[in-house]
Structure 1
Amino acid sequence: MISVIICSANAEDLLLVKKNIAETIGVAHEIVAIDNRKAGKGICEVYNEGTQKAAYDLLCFMHEDVQIRTHEWGKTVLNIFSDDADTGVLGVAGGGYKSLAPSGWYQFEFHSEERSYQNVLQGFKLDEKDEIHAYHNPKNEHLSNVVCVDGLWFCTRKRIALKYPFDARTLQGFHGYDLDFCLSVFQEYKVIVTYDILMKHASEGNFNKLWFDEILKLHRKWSKVLPLTTSDVSDREFYFTEKRCLKKAIEQMLRWDYSFYQIHRMIMNAAKSRVRTKLYFKAYLHLLQLKLNIIPLPPKS
């Protein structure tokens, strides 16, 4: 039995996703849909409210612009959690490396096949692109261990969501909640990705300055434990991965007109971690070279 929790902003989308869930889940369930159109609460507050209202022991948090294509997916969820008591979070897309530098769950700068694990049909609303099937299973597994999952759809146990509630004090908008929740749960339980449930996500997400503001808050909270990975990574690889990640973060902050102080604060926050001190001198050098026009700001990739 599964409680499906949805933060709703569109009544038509909600009707469609309710119908889709009823037709595909294949197990007893309830839908805890919280209408957030007028209240305008942050998603952490809404998800905590949904957790409190949920009647069942397994919770599924999902966006309302998702259409699940796999029939009887609820049985798959129940089996995964019943087979391993250490499973804490289950998603369909996730990253095997979470950087110290501000970022989302996918770490392109981690030069390893293990940087991402996913099976999602991705649609696009903001760009005129065709739908793609994002399938990446580098180890050819049924389940893959990751650090964080994408918030489009993920499941957990109610007792875990009560023990590690969504951080509505730090994150008051609609970004970063999935990473923060996974980083909390990762301390004690497994965070995993399944390839046996396929769904379409209608939107690619808007990774803009508002998103980055929330990611900076997230990283101020977690910098002392980052970077994290499920891969076998040497100190040398940590260093060069984070060097690439910090450079990218600095460049993006300059494009979005963050002040020198704000970028300085980001670098100093990263300095709390276990990565070699040399990294921060390299980051400052890169910032100064860009600010003084010694090197050009690379075009946005």
Structure 2
Amino acid sequence: MTGQKLIEVVSATRLSRADFMERSALGLSLQRLADPRITASIAFQNRIGLPAVYNHRLAQSTAEVLLFVHDDVWIDDIFLADRLLQAVTAFDVVGVVGNTRCSEGQVSWAFTDEQLNWDAEDCLSGAIANGAEPFGRVSRFGSSTTPCRLVDGVFIAVNRDAAMSRGARFDEQFGFHFYDMDFCREAHARGLRIGTWPISITHQSAGNFRSDAWREACARYRQKWEASTTTADQPRGIEGA
């Protein structure tokens, strides 16, 4: 060990430091892992959007890999560090579940429209578990180690040097919803490699789709990527990136 930080886990929580460590799925998972290759940067009692938290660490961290993950995620995989370090040799942006395409009207990695219709099975990739406790029921969507266009924002690992060199950032107009869709499309437009990797996690939440906040973010996302673009995956302002 050289002392260099290899992996930094970045998350935001409404909980205090003490409550996060004692109650949250992520806090308990990090204590269980106790891996010296992993450090954590947690925004406690957070009231700002995830992109602002994530961009701050992109700019300030010295870690090789940044793992942006929700606080309600159980990390079931004791080989997390090994898997992430392997994953970023193949991809610059890594998720556990994703989609090999990004269709017009897509509203998440999995859903093709605002009625939340699932995309075709042969476009989906990866696996994830859901449940209140760790090692939840697994949903399998296809093979991992697959090049994708979109990955789910519940767990996004980034090769920091690659992201910084290409100017990939999270758009801070998306506080919680659609920031992951937007980031993946920005990353793809800037030439970053996106894909899934086999990493075991359990997500406590099924998502908060079709809320008022979700619909408002959806409208802004569509304006950015569909109403004001000349190509399917290039918003104004990054031509030639």
Corresponding position: 1:71 with 2:74: no
Task: Give matches, 1:50-199, under 5 Å.
Answer: 50-82=57-89, 84=90, 87-101=91-105, 103-107=107-111, 112-123=120-131, 132-137=137-142, 141-162=143-164, 163-168=167-172, 170-171=173-174, 173-187=175-189, 188-194=191-197, 196-199=198-201
Shift, 1:106, TM fit: 1.0
Q: How many residues align?
A: 212
CA RMSD of aligned residues (A): 2.5
Q: For residues 99 and 179 of structure 1, what CA distance do their matches in structure 2 show?
A: 12
- For the pair 1:23 / 2:43, whether they are aligned, the reply is no
- Does residue 5 (structure 1) correspond to residue 10 (structure 2)? The answer is yes
Matches within 5 A, 1:225-264: 225-226=231-232
Report the structure, 1 or 2, having the larger helix content: 1
Give how far 1:29 is off.
1.7
Q: Output one character per residue of 1:101-156: Cα deviation in whole Å (capped at 9) or x when no partner.
A: 251221355763223213111137xxxxxx6411121xxx4411111111111100
Match of 2:238 in 1: none
Q: CA deviation at 1:95?
A: 1.7
Q: Distance in 1 between matches of 2:85 and 2:70?
A: 20
Question: TM-score scaled to structure 2, two decimals?
Answer: 0.78
Letter in 2 for 1:121: A
Q: Partner of 1:35 in structure 2? A: 44
Q: Percent identity?
A: 21
Letter in 2 for 1:3: E
Q: Given that residues 25 and 74 in structure 1 are in contact (C-alpha distance below 8 angstroms), is that contact kept between their aligned partners in structure 2? A: no
- The structure-2 alpha-carbon separation of the partners of 1:25 and 1:151, relative to structure 1 and needing over 3 Å to count, comes to farther
Report deviation, 1:59: 0.5
Instruction: Evaluate the alpha carbon distance shift between residue 183 and residue 42 of structure 1 in structure 2; reply closer, same or farther with a 3 A threshold.
Output: same
The whole-number CA distance in structure 1 between the counterparts of 2:144 and 2:110 is 20
Bigger Cα Rg: 1
Question: Secondary structure of 2:54's partner?
Answer: helix
- Which letter does structure 2 place at the counterpart of 1:133? V
CA distance in 2, matches of 1:97, 1:142: 15
- Does the CA-based 8 Å contact 1:160-1:185 persist in structure 2? no
Letter in 1 for 2:40: I
Q: What are the superposed Cα offsets for residues 21-52 of structure 1, whole Å, 9 maximum, x if unpaired?
A: 24337451210111243xx2111111112223
In structure 2, how many angstroms separate the alpha carbons of the residues matched to 1:174 and 1:20?
22
Q: TM-score, with normalisation over the residues of structure 1?
A: 0.64
- Give CA-to-partner distance per residue, 1:234-277, whole Å, 9 cap, x none: xxxxxxxxxxxxxxxxxxxxxxxxxxxxxxxxxxxxxxxxxxxx
Say which SS state the counterpart of residue 143 (structure 1) adopts. coil
State the AA in 2 paired with 1:95.
Answer: N
Alignment correspondent of 2:55: 48
Name the CA distance, whole Å, in 2 between partners of 1:159 and 1:117: 25
Aligned-partner Cα distance in 2 for 1:112–1:190: 22
